[in-house]
Amino acid sequence: MRVKICGITRDEDGEAIARMGASALGFICVPSSPRYVGVGQIRQMVDRLHSWRVGAIGVFANVGTEPIGNVVREAGLTGVQLHGDETPEFCDRLRAELADGIEIIKAFRIKSEADLERTRLYRDRVDTFLLDAYHPGQLGGTGRQLDWTLLDGFDPGVPWLLAGGLNPDNVLTAIARVRPTGIDLSSGVERSPGIKDLAKVARLFEQLGARGQQRP
C-alpha cells in the first residue's frame, strides 16, 4: 500500500513522517494555498530526506510546463501532481519537459460518474491517478470525504491513490471498500494547515500495520 502524506511545510515533519514509513511526501507549489512552500524550502527538505527511500512530489495547478520543469529540477522532485484543469495534451507536453523517470500524477475532483469517465482520457498520458473529493472553491486539502459508492468497481488500468477526507479512523474502511493502489492524506493528519499532527500520522501507520511500512 502506497502512502503519500501531502502538504508538508516543515523539515521536522517531513523527516519524521519519512521515518514512520511514508512512500512519498507532497509539497504544495500553489501560492494561494495555506500549505504553499517555495522551491528553496522544498530543496532543503528533499536534501534532508536522502537517507530515506521516499518520493518527493510537487503539487501544481494550472501552471505552464516550463515553470513546473524548473521547480522539479531546482527542488530535486521525483514527481509532479497536477491538481488543476490540465488537459491530456498538457500532460503530453509536460512529459516531454521532464526527465525520464519523473512520475506524473493527475488528480481528479470527483462528484459524479461523469468525472470518473473523464479519467479514461488520461490513462495513457500519466503514471498515476489521484481521486479527491469535489469542492467548489478549493482544489484540495478540504477534509471532505469522496463518495466511495461512486468508486464501486473502479479499475482505471493505472495505479491510483484515494484522497478526500481520509484519516486514521476511516482509512481501513476506505481501503477495504474501494481497494486503491495507495492513499493520500493531508488535512486528516494535521493540527492546522501545513502543520502535521505526528501523533495522528503515527496512528495512521499503526492502523495500516505492516503494509504502511512498505515503499513501493
Distances (CA, A) of 143 to 9, 22, 188, 189: 18, 20, 7, 10
**Which of these is catalytic: 29, 91, 132, 184?**
132
CA distances from 55 to 2, 59, 76, 198 (A): 11, 13, 10, 19
- C-alpha cell of residue 96: 516531454
Q: Which three cell numbers stand for residue 60?
A: 501544481
Is residue 4 helix, strand or coil?
Answer: strand
Q: Strand 55-60 and strand 103-110: pairing?
A: unpaired
Rounded Cα gap, residues 13 and 24, in angstroms:
13
Annotation says 132 is catalytic = yes
Considering 6, 13, 91, 184, which one is annotated as catalytic? 6
| H or E stretch at 147 | none
* Active-site residue list: 6, 132
